Structure 1
Amino acid sequence: MKPDTIASPDTSGFEELVPSRYALRIGDIDVLVVSDGVLPLPTETMATNVDPAVRAEWFKDMFVGPDMFDWALNVLVLRSGDKTILVDAGLGGQFPGFPRAGQFPKRLQAAGIDLASVTDIIITHMHMDHVGGLLVEDVNRRLNPDVRIHVTATEIAFWQTPDFEQTAMPNPVPEVLRKTATQFIDAYADKIMAFDEECEVAPGVVAKLTGGHTPGHCVVHVASGGERLTFAGDALFPVGFDHPDWHNGFEHDPEESVRVRVRLLQQAAASGEYLVATHLPFPSVGRVAADGDAFRWVAAFWDF
């Protein structure tokens, strides 16, 4: 799987005005960012610990809102050696209120990637917009029966009795999250390979526990040939560069989430590595620059 191959024109019958995938290479590792679509969410969920007027002003300056905005959903496909690794699986199609999400299966097919070729799946955490795609019947059926799914042991334990006390989610969401996580564990129990602190899934591809957003949240570090990329999952949201201390309503431990976010941003700014995250606008490939006590997002120039 090489960038000039995985980014080739759509020949699958799924036609879109703009192909929602972007390929790059980190050393010898091929990376494909795939858009799973967007979720409409209330702007208030992006900053629950600040004055509403301050939050509204930030969204106005970003030409977004004022009440709702489209939250991007991105997943990764990595090829390292003989392994093809899917990082997260998007929302899936079982949530009728989000018709513009759940796009990754057809976009993967449009990129010429067969789900049966996926050897490993890394789940950053078990929120529905990260595991829901694996609950789509056609996806489950097409996966390799020997696929390995990597999730932190802490994440699995958390969803046995999840705690939503510190979250500020819309009312229906906690129960849907709980139900989806349970369905995922039940459906894939025999394929889950739980790990503690970190797991090298393939040469140069390491999943590492961070906690914060959920207690078992992990990020994925990709390193090869002196180049690096980190997939930050939900440790980072668009507002997090300007205001890393703003709490997100979906964070199960907001204070720890801030510490995780700042640490990741500091590391990315120091290393100059690429940073990709689930909810940054597609293709979500860029670098981080320090800017006093805050940070600045430097979008990568598209190479096409």
Structure 2
Amino acid sequence: MPHAETNRRTGQQETTMSLDNASRPSRSGRDELVPSRYAVKVGEIDVLVISDGVLPIPTPVLATNADPAVRTAWLDDMFLPTDVLHWPLNVVLVRSGGQAILVDAGLGVEFPDFPRAGQTVSRLEAAGVDLASVTDVVLTHMHMDHIGGLLADGVKDRLRPDLRIHVAAAEVKFWEAPDFSHASMPSTVPPVLRRTAKRFMAEYQSQLRQFDEDYEVAPGVVVTRTGGHTPGHSVVRLASGGDRLTFAGDAVFQVGFDHPDWHNGFEHDPEEAARVRVRLLRELAATREPLVATHLPFPSVCHVAADGDVFRWVPVVWDS
């Protein structure tokens, strides 16, 4: 395993590749035009942030309760398109205590409307990570862009037969009869969400390990239910040797730093999701620990600064 060095700017230990065999080159790795993985050390825990690609979404979904003119002004101020946004999609691979834990699985490759997403499996391979080495999967929730990668052709056959998939019991219960009445998604999305979740449950139900509020998956790797975005939405907290990092799933979006009270159209309980977001951002600002989230621009690793109820997104400086 390559030597880890301390980043003088962030105070974190980082490596260019710290997972077993992750530095081994592959054809897909050489052909990539942009970086798609970023390694971080959290004490003795190795973390690899992987870009699953980007999803095109209509920008009104970012803030369904905001004045359209204010939303457009925010997008313009951030140099973002005001009609369709290419939304980043990240997953993480964590190695702790002899376990290799994939947190979320990306979109998969069976959604032709999203040709630039669904790259998790190929990018794990580009990093030299064998799917058979993954011992556990943690699902922050069961939206299709978090479980679809496990449904791609041939993936299940390449995973360990004793793979453990950790998910909140409230999430599993919700998808038995999902209620989208408080969400504001494009009309084509709910049927796909239902269909994907139903297929996932049919294929992986025997491997689910359900928890109520929190569960330690591996040494220093704790998954905690927050609710809000979905009833069983969860975050993953890492802690080792005094270092910490939080993977927030869909609890935090880029716009949520400036406008944490804006509702995302995919949130099943928007009011609760906003409360979860504010609590989490306040906590991270106080602890100064790094944050990674599904839909923050890759590699997503950042800090949270706060002045009262106003938050600021502070990306870490990349270290080579």
TM-score bracket relative to the smaller structure: over 0.9
**Counterpart of 2:286 in 1: which secondary structure?**
helix
Q: Which residue of structure 1 lines up, in the alignment, with residue 239 of structure 2?
A: 223
Q: What pairs up with 1:236-247 in 2 under 5 angstroms?
A: 236-247=252-263
8 Å CA contact 2:18, 2:46 repeated in 1: no
Identity of aligned residues (%): 64
Displacement of 1:292 in angstroms is 3.0
Moved over 4 A (4+): none
The one of 226, 229, 232 aligned to 1:213: 229
8 Å CA contact 1:32, 1:76 repeated in 2: yes
Structure 1 length as normaliser, TM-score? Answer: 0.98
Q: What pairs up with 1:38-187 in 2 under 5 angstroms?
A: 38-187=54-203
Q: Which amino acid aligns with 2:196?
A: T
Q: Which residue of structure 1 lines up, in the alignment, with residue 23 of structure 2?
A: 8
* Separation of aligned partners in 1, 2:285 and 2:203: 39
Displacement of 1:12 in angstroms is 4.0
**Counterpart of 2:258 in 1: which secondary structure?**
coil
Q: Write out per-residue CA displacement over residues 60-97 of structure 1, whole angstroms, 9 at most, x where no aligned residue.
A: 00111110011000000000011000000000011110
Residues 1:282 and 2:298 are matched in the alignment:
yes
Q: Which amino acid aligns with 1:29?
A: I
Q: Work out the number of aligned pairs and report it.
A: 304
* Separation of aligned partners in 2, 1:26 and 1:241: 24
* Separation of aligned partners in 1, 2:261 and 2:196: 29
Q: What pairs up with 1:5-44 in 2 under 5 angstroms?
A: 5-6=18-19, 8=23, 10-14=25-29, 15-44=31-60
**Counterpart of 1:266 in 2: which secondary structure?**
helix
Cα RMSD over matched residues?
1.1
* Separation of aligned partners in 2, 1:95 and 1:200: 33
* Separation of aligned partners in 2, 1:137 and 1:124: 22
Structure 2 length as normaliser, TM-score? Answer: 0.93
**Counterpart of 1:190 in 2: which secondary structure?**
helix
Q: Which amino acid aligns with 2:181?
A: E
8 Å CA contact 1:12, 1:109 repeated in 2: no
* Separation of aligned partners in 2, 1:5 and 1:194: 30
